Amino acid sequence: MIPEQEIRRKLLHAATAFIPLLYWFFPDIGPLTGQQWVLILFVIFGGLFVFADYFRRRSAFIRKVFFWFAAPFLRDIEEKKMTAASVIAVSFFLVLLIFPARIAVPACLLLSVGDAASGLVGRRFGRHPWFKHYTVEGSLAFIAAGLLLFTLAFPYIPFWKAAVTVTVCALFEGLLSHLNDNLVIPFSAAALLLMLEVQ
C-alpha cells in the first residue's frame, strides 16, 4: 500500500501542471503578454511561499502558519530543508523564464505528470530495482506518461524526439538522484528539446 501522505504529495505534484498550463493559455492583457502576467503573478505568490518556507526556521509565527497549510504534504526529511514545492516553484520559474514557451511548457509538464506517475506506480507495483530505489516499473510509467503527454498535448514535437527526451529524463531521475529531481527533470527536458531543435 502507498502511504496516504505520499498519495497526497503525488496528487499535489500533478497539480503543479496548472502553472505551465496557465503560462501557455493566459491571455494578453493591456501592455503585457499573458506569459509576462503569469511570471509576475508567479514571482508574487510563488515568492511568498518560498519566503515562508525559508524563514519558517527563523520565525515561530511563520513556522506555525506554514505548517498549518503544508503539514499534510511534508516528509520528515523536509523538516530542516526547503520543501519540494519550493524547489518546483524555483525550477518552473527559471525554465519558463529562460526557454521558449514551446519548450519550457512541455518540459515543466513532464515533471508534473511523469514524476507523479513514476512515484505512484513505482511504490505500488515496483518489483525490479535498476538503480538505488528506482524501479523498472516506475521508470516505465514515467516514460509512458511523458510520451502520452507529448503526443496528445504537443503534436509539434516529433515522436522520436519526445521518446528520446522522456527516456533520458527517466534515466536522469535515477542516475542523478543525488541532485533534486524537481530541478533535474525540467531543466534536462528543456535542454534536450532545445538541442533536438524542437520548433
pLDDT digit of tens for each residue in the chain (199 aa)? 677 777 877 788 788 999 999 999 999 999 999 999 999 999 999 999 999 999 998 898 998 888 887 777 777 777 778 888 899 999 999 999 999 999 999 999 999 999 999 988 998 898 999 988 899 999 999 999 999 999 999 999 999 999 999 999 999 988 887 788 999 999 999 999 999 999 7
- Domain tally for the chain? 1
CA geometry: angle at 172 spanning 121 and 1, to 5°? 20
One-letter amino acid identity for 52?
A
Say what the pTM is.
Answer: 0.92
Question: Is 82 in a helix, a strand, or coil?
Answer: coil
* C-alpha cell at position 169: 529524463
Identify whether the C-beta of residue 150 lies closer than 8 Å to the C-beta of residue 162. Answer: yes
> What was the pLDDT predicted at 199?
76
Q: How many residues does the chain have?
A: 199
Count other C-beta atoms under 10 Å from residue 157's C-beta.
Answer: 21
Segments forming the whole domain that contains residue 13: 4-195
